[in-house]
Structures are given as C-alpha cells and as structure tokens.
Chain A
Amino acid sequence: MSERHFLDVKNLVKHFPIRTPGIFFKKQVGVIHAVDGISFLVDKGTTFGLVGESGCGKTSTARAILYLDPPTSGKTYIEGEDVGEIFKSKKKNQILKLRRKMQYVFQNPYASLDPRMTVADIIMEPLMIHKHVPKNKWHDKLYDLLELVGLEDYHAERYPHEFSGGQRQRICIARALAVEPELLIADEPVASLDVSVRAQILNLLQELQQKLRITYLYISHHDLSTVRHICHRVAVMYLGKFVEIAETDELFSSPLHPYTQALLSSIPIPDPETKRSRIILPGEVPSPINPPAGCRFQPRCIYQKNHRCIETAPELTDVGNGHLVACDKVHN
C-alpha cells in the first residue's frame, strides 16, 4: 500500500506450547492456537476495535503487538519501524524509545496497580524510567496528568485501595499517558465499571484522542454498544482469526459474516418495544488446542454447510468499501 499507516500488523501468529508436567523432561504435547495469522492496518488518530468472545485471542494479540509476549511469527510495524527487529536487537535505548510510543491500559484496574505505591509513585515511575521530562518538572507533569484524567491534586498522596473502580481506571490511564504515547491499547477499560462511571471514562478517552491525537486499539467482549460508540473501524475475531473487518457503521448496519450477525443480534437493547429476531448460536467456542478444520466457525454456523466450509479455511476478502469478510457463503 502506498500510504503509510500508523500501525501495520502482518500475519501475526501466537501459539502457546502445552507441556507435560515434569522436572527433567518436559515434553511438548500440543499447542494452543491463540492467534493464528491476523493482519490489519490502523491509521493515526483513529480507534480500532477488537471484538470477540472471551478466549478468542484478543488480549494475546495486543500483548504480541507490544512484544510483551513475543509473537511466534509475523511482523508488526509502528510508523514503518519493525517492532520485532528492535526488540531482537537488544539495544536498550531503541527499545525504550519504542516502549514510549506504545502503552497499555490493563483489563482489571483492581489488579494492575501496585498496592504499596502511592498514586504519585505510580504515575511518576514511567517518568523515572524514560527520563523524557527533566527531574524538576516531574511534579508539574504529575499534576497535569491528574487534571487531564479528572482527578484532584490531593489524590496523589493516596494509595490505590482508597479509590473506586472508576478512579483506579483513571490512574491507569494517567500512568499510560505519562510517557506521551502514540498508541494506547485499552483492554476492556470499562468492563468492570458501572454505567455512569463507564460513560465518564469513555468520554475521557474520546477527549484525549481529540486533544492528543492518540491511536487506540480498543478491546472488548461484553460491550458492543460501547465499541460502536468509540471505534472507527472494528474487527471481529473468532478463535484466533478475523472473520470480518469493516468501518463501524457499516459493520453494525450490514454485518455479512454469520458469526458477526449472531453476535450483533444477541446484544440486549435497552428498549422493550424493539423485537428482534435473535440468532442464538448452538454450543460454545471450541477449544483452541484442536481448532476445527476448514472454517473455524463451521460447527456452530446456522447456515447450510458445504464441503468447502469443512475442508478449506476461507480467506479475508474485500467486498467493497474496505469491508473484509472471511466466509465462503458471502463471496458466492
């Protein structure tokens, strides 16, 4: 592609080996196909949504992109730079520089803050490591960040247990923003929060994007209405593979893949009058240790299967407007 994309993920694969328990001989008995060859592009200043049921590999994808878990194969480029190469070169300066570009807001705000550090320690730790702000400005930066995420100055001296879930999530966001990142991976940032707090955090994320032009990778499994609200482009994931990628409005108004259709139809709508034909999928997500042959969705698909569904895995193909679908039925 001629134009430069901010984030370019090419054929990313992440497998986790399963080993037998043992002291001297650990035999590998299988492999969990967490992520199995996904590619996508994200433009600067936009939000890319990653949607799918739990266990489909969303978090593994995010961690592999950030090189928190090195991917099995595949490449990630951030503004044209190969992330894998930089990490393999083991040049500390370059790795730090790259880490500054990409930050992570973890799933659970109750588990991702050190209970023995005050908020000031937590938020200033990245400043100490990256040293991109002179030491005499650290406190100014701290108070700026607190203000940015809507916390008060006196909160700086407190410990995480003194805060509610929504406030903790704000601390996590402030910590991630301390290094002025260009890419922020938000892994279900509102999953454990109440509706009113959820609205506050979502508005905050949107404001920050407008102000600082951050690119988001937004991961969610619960809350598709939130995804619709915040994302520009959405990818639907099923068992380690993308089944559909499209612009948000297009995806929500005309989903093409049977899994996306089922997923969207099962979102409860807060309106008692709306009567919808709900597609209820039979069964559960199969194990990623032995994923089904052919199309991975095929055992739960409500459409009539043909031999191609069972034999060959469908490729993501463009059906116009940048709407990519991986289903044989749609193409024919």
Chain B
Amino acid sequence: MKVKEILKIENLKTYFDTWAGIVRAVDGVSLDVREGETLGLVGESGSGKSVTALSILNIVPRPGKIIDGKIIYKGENLLEKPESDLQKIRGKEIGYIFQDPATSLNPVFSIADQLTEVIKRHQIVKTPSFRAKDLYKLRAIIRRRGDAKKEILQKAIELFKLVEIPDPEIKIWSYPHQLSGGMKQRMAVARALSCQPSLLLADEPTTNLDVTIQAQILQLMKNLKKKLGMSMILITHDMGVVAGVADRITVLYAGRVCETADTKTIFYKPRHPYTMALLTAVPSLALKKEKLEVIPGTIPNLIEPPSGCRFHPRCEYAKPACAKKIPPLEEIEPGHYVACIRASEIDIESPLGAKANE
C-alpha cells in the first residue's frame, strides 16, 4: 500500500537577491509530508527552515523569490496557482504558526479582532451582504448580520477553550500586550487552527517559552493533532522537542537536505556526519560529559557557499571528492535518505545508540 502524501516539495530553490549578491537560502530542498504525520524540520539558524515553510505558502518576503521547484499540495502545484487561489488556501487549508508570537500579532487590534479575521475571511460563518435591490429587507439583513457576528465570536471563544485558555469570554477582549508569552503562543495556535487546516506549519512554536509552558504547548499540539487529524511540519532547532513530537525528521544544512528518516533512525542510526554532530553538540541530562563536542567553524555564507557538499569544510570525514560533487539525496534503506557520498563507507555511531546497546 502506498502512503498518501499531503505535501511534496521537489527541488525547491528560493533565492534572495541582495546588494551583496544572491543568497541561496534554500537550494534544492525536497521533502514530503504524509497524511496525519508530523515532520520535524531541524537545522541551525540560517539553514533555510523558515524560508522553506514560507515558500510553501508563497509568502517569502522581498527580495526573496522562488526560482525553481514544485510544491505539490494534494496533487496540485501551488506555485502555478494564481494569487487568488492561494489566498483561499492560506489559513484555511494550510495553517501557519509564526516564529515569534510577540511580533506576529498586531498590537493595536484586540485578540477577538485578530482571531475572527481568519474566520470572516474564509467565510466559515456566512455573513449576508447588502445589495441595493434588497434595500427593503434592510432590517432583516442587519439582524442576520448581527447574528453572524455573534456566531463568529462564539466560534472564537470555542477556539480559546480548545487551546485551554482560562476565562475565554474575558480574555478574548484583551490586547496582545496584556497577555503573557505562553498565552500569546496559545492564541497563535488558536488562530492557525481556526479553519481546521489539513496541514499546519509550526515555525519554532515553543522557542522563547519556559520549559513548563513549552511542555504544555507541545502536549496541546499533540492532542489537537490527534483530535483534528491534521498533518504538521514542526520547525525547530531543539533536538529534544522533535524527539518527543515528530514521526519523521528532515535535517537541513545551509539550504540543502542532509538526511531524512523516521525519528528513531535519525537518533539511533544517523548516516550523515552533520546529523551526528548535531546530536553530540547537545548537552544531555542522561550522559554527563566532561567536554562538549564542537562542530568546528561556523555556518557558511550562503552568497558564496562551499562547492560540492556544503558541510565538507566542517566535516571530519571529508575527502577531496566531497568538494567537487554535490552529493545527491539517495535512499540507502527504505525511507532513509542521505545526501553524503561517503554514507555507506563511514561508520557513525550515535551516542544514543551506544547507550542502547549497553
């Protein structure tokens, strides 16, 4: 049986044309999200995680531009669709939780305004409109519009209940500055879920939150996903978060995919040296190490990225051949894709794998 894919990205290229040169932020990313699963998108800052997500909805800020590639959502290429069709998809079919709730909410509108905007825009509740010929029914229309308004507000309050905000009837009239970080994040989750999307893009939904609030939000998203049966792309740099939430993981480095596999394979049998490096650089609660492993150097400048494999200047397994050829993303085991020409030669042992064998 073939697994159904809800979203498939093929060879996506998003470039930013700046005065200093062309920044190849996303340079040939291919990935897929299956129905009902959570895909973790992992990488350091500047690896192109957010730009990939923004490209899916074609809302990359200027001067960013999608140069090449296909984004196939439910069998249709979103990049060929006109803007008017995309507007129907944004928010309704694909929800987006933006990176920083403190800056993605408008400070001069109340939460109620911002939450109902999505519901109104996508006509989840029909609002009757005035027409000149209906002028004689004016009072009836005004009444019906009033009812619709109440219904929309009721819907917003229900959403607030869904994301477990206490006193939703009162809190909905507050402004963003009156809410704490955790509340704003819940509000962002509620807004993304308002039209029951079939795909949710969550861009670092818990990065700036305290650990106890982070645990609450992650649990909430997990429950809601189960309840509403949606697929999700979770963007994060925290390996701990993806370990608990994601079904499969795609590791990005400098705008390219390094490795895609299910969560267990990534953590216990990684084949790409970068995945390995990411795992060992994290201080762990379980294993107390004297000194942390360090990935030498810094993330490359994407205006003039290194030739061949982009990780080779920092890779301990690099050979001269790595600098010459761009490694293709190859399937080495069923469902396990690696972009490294030495994937089959080098023997990498996960720090977690070693622990499991003992």
Contacts and interface: CB of A to CB of B under 8 A. Distances in A.
B210 A221 contact: yes
Interface of B: 44-45, 166, 180-183, 210-216, 218-219, 237-241, 243-244, 263-264, 267-268, 277-279, 281-286, 288-289, 291-295, 298-299, 352, 356
A272 B267 contact: yes
A267 B211 contact: yes
Contacts of B180: 284
B23 to A, nearest CB: 15
25 contacts: A53-B213, A54-B210, A164-B298, A194-B45, A194-B237, A196-B278, A199-B283, A203-B294, A206-B291, A228-B285, A229-B292, A249-B288, A262-B212, A265-B215, A267-B240, A268-B218, A268-B240, A268-B244, A270-B284, A271-B267, A273-B268, A274-B286, A280-B219, A281-B216, A284-B180
A202 interface: yes
Nearest to A206: B291
B278 A195 contact: yes
A267 B219 CA distance: 13
B215 A266 contact: yes
B44 A273 contact: no
A283 interface: yes
Interface string A251-285: 01000000000110111111111100010110110
A271 B291 contact: no
Contacts of A283: 166
A224 B45 contact: no
A20 interface: no
Interface of A: 53-54, 164, 166, 194-200, 202-203, 206, 221-226, 228-229, 249, 252, 262-263, 265-274, 278, 280-281, 283-284
A222 B294 contact: no
Given A195-B281, A196-B281, A221-B210, A278 B215 contact: yes
B182 A284 contact: yes
Nearest to A166: B298
B44 A271 contact: no
Given A199-B292, A271-B352, A266 B212 contact: yes
Nearest to A190: B283
Contact of A272 (B264, B292, B295): B264
Contacts of A200: 294
B244 A199 contact: no
A268 B282 contact: no
B292 A270 contact: no
Contacts of B286: 269, 271, 274
Given A53-B211, A221-B211, A272-B267, 8 more contacts: A54-B181, A203-B292, A266-B212, A268-B243, A270-B240, A270-B284, A280-B219, A284-B213
